[in-house]
Amino acid sequence: MTRETLLTFAIRFGFLILLFCMVIYFSLSANGFASPRSAAFILQSVAITGILALGVTCTLVVDGFDLSIGSVATSALMLSAYAMVILEMSAVTAVLLCLLMGAIVGLINGLLIVKFKVPDLLATLGMMFLLIGLQRIPTQGNSIATGMKLPDGSAAEGAFSAAFLWLGRHRFDLFVEKLVPVPVVIFLITAVVIWVFLELTRHGRLMYAIGSNERAAALVGTNVNRYKIAAYMISGVTASIGGILLAARLGRGDIASGNNLLLDSVAAALIGFAVLGAARANAFGTAIGALFVGILLQGLTMMNAPYYTQDFVKGAVLVLALVFTFYLSAKRSAGGKT
């Protein structure tokens, strides 16, 4: 094999091979790693960040960025709790309300960026702050749970409905009884939908064109603004799905949860750049990126690595992936399939 083809091979499959070796290593050295339960656990641990990461992937595709996803998710968490516990709404209404909130936040992000020309990082950073603050106002900064004291002195009567909690806690049977949690199924469905959208539809192709050369895309008659807004709306909706699932798992409107969502999901999307040598945001890579982190952390935990090393490990993986993407791919000549 020549140097050239070796390099191409390394860029294409390097990350997947690394993932594979890691699985083998943990299976051999950590007792119980190679079991359905452990696999389901890993998937569950990455499902919510994965869903958020798939949304941020869409904004990365149009050469944008969405920093508000973490706070959209926690806002959805608080909103669903508020809707059910305090306003005593049904599970369906609460879910719809959250999805609508995500879409509206995405729309505002998009409008700030394309109409008011605010740079993407700054617009979504502003939105992040705004939402972090906003979600605390209705409850004066308190978490929401059944029986909590309301400002007028009475107690909150509502409760998380069983149907809502099902979203976070139910497990489907697969080989083993009660194995696959609902969030994992939703993560996999979202991954497939986003992948089909980005890779197979003409809208996805145009979004990649916008990300690669916005001006050229506009000059062939693409409505660039509309696609950019759509990308932020997708990101907002997926983030609110993540928040709903988190709420359903916790069963209360916990003000402090979801702190790590933003960084973890952005990391997954960026690690995804390195998968298959894509050197750009892509849905498959994002899903693999999320899994990669999940497997690594699970394996290390089972080998008794202390919990406080987790962020360090994630950071190291991210830096490695970025070197993969930007250094190695830059060495290869330009262009490629699609």
Contact residues toward another protein (CB under 8 A) are 196, 200-203, 205-206, 208-209, 211-213, 215-223, 280, 333-338
Helix (H) / strand (E) containing 177 = strand 176-181
Residue 140's contacts (CB-CB under 8 Å, 6 or more residues apart) are 151
Task: State which residue, 108 or 269, has the beta carbon closest to another protein.
Answer: 269
DSSP assignment letter at 179: E
Pull the structure tokens for residue 258. 């979801």
CB of 164 to another protein, least distance (A): 33
Task: State which residue, 164 or 195, has the beta carbon closest to another protein.
Answer: 195
CB of 221 to another protein, least distance (A): 4
CB of 185 to another protein, least distance (A): 24
Task: State which residue, 178 or 203, has the beta carbon closest to another protein.
Answer: 203
Task: State which residue, 98 or 283, has the beta carbon closest to another protein.
Answer: 283
Pull the structure tokens for residue 62. 């149009």
* Nearest Cα to Cα of residue 82 among 34, 120, 16, 136: 136
Task: State which residue, 140 or 338, has the beta carbon closest to another protein.
Answer: 338
Q: How far apart are CA 234 and CA 239, in angstroms?
A: 8
Identify the residue whose tokens are 């009884």: 177
Task: State which residue, 168 or 211, has the beta carbon closest to another protein.
Answer: 211
Task: State which residue, 121 or 196, has the beta carbon closest to another protein.
Answer: 196
Phi, psi (5° rounding) for residue 252? -155, 160
CB of 198 to another protein, least distance (A): 11
CB of 116 to another protein, least distance (A): 19
* Nearest Cα to Cα of residue 252 among 145, 137, 98: 145
Helix (H) / strand (E) containing 172 = strand 171-174
SS3 174: strand
DSSP assignment letter at 275: G
CB of 277 to another protein, least distance (A): 12
CB of 226 to another protein, least distance (A): 10
Q: How far apart are CA 283 and CA 198, in angstroms?
A: 7
